[in-house]
Structure 1
């Protein structure tokens, strides 16, 4: 398995993006919202760290992912397919992913969703719920905190790229 993101670049991006990914997962579980500050922080990580670790043509090309995914996300949000925070996080995460790795990232996200959804649903029906009784996601009915899958999916991709990258 070879990923297009250079291993060293992925490692540096992982080091700085992982705390933001965890923040996104925790915040979405707690409040059913992904804070704009987290999205801006993720973009800033790419702008600063990406500039230092990626070749300039790749760095600039990947910035286009942000714009393209933001337009798609705004449309998906307007159609009621996803929350605005989810759309903004996906756009902010876009530059971290090499275009050639997009199918791998989709598989990672699908696997993360298959793990996160039942984990969340089981946890909210178990005594574990008492550890954080005020979390909005326990009371959200059919809504699911997508940040619980999105953040870890980006971190996992970067970890895999740090291990198997170009």
Structure 2
């Protein structure tokens, strides 16, 4: 008889908005209109929806749960069984200077903490952004992201962690 372990995972986010600034000693006397506009309008980053892998049971062999950022669909692989609940891709809204190009930085992996000192790792964090994302004419950009949760067979519990999301003007 296979023993199944319960696992629930919710990720929260630490946002680190940043605006690139020019060296005032090195810059020409007048900033370009785009650079001046960006300097006047700071970036704001708001997490609208947290990434949630849902509820699963994990067998002795472990497995993986992946959440697609575009569709929000959850894929299970390995010795993992779906116990229901909603899997959600994360949603972030960025506000700043209209039309400005931005760079979004997500870590390559994040360790989640569960009870009794256990950990699980989220890897492959990806967004649904284009290669050169820009804020819209209203100064707003919303994007979604997902990733893969890797679970060992003995790692049951409720896992939580923070994913730092950094956004910079280009």
TM-score by length of 2: 0.27
Q: Could you say which structure has the higher strand fraction?
A: 2
Q: Could you say which structure has the higher helix fraction?
A: 1
TM-score by length of 1: 0.28
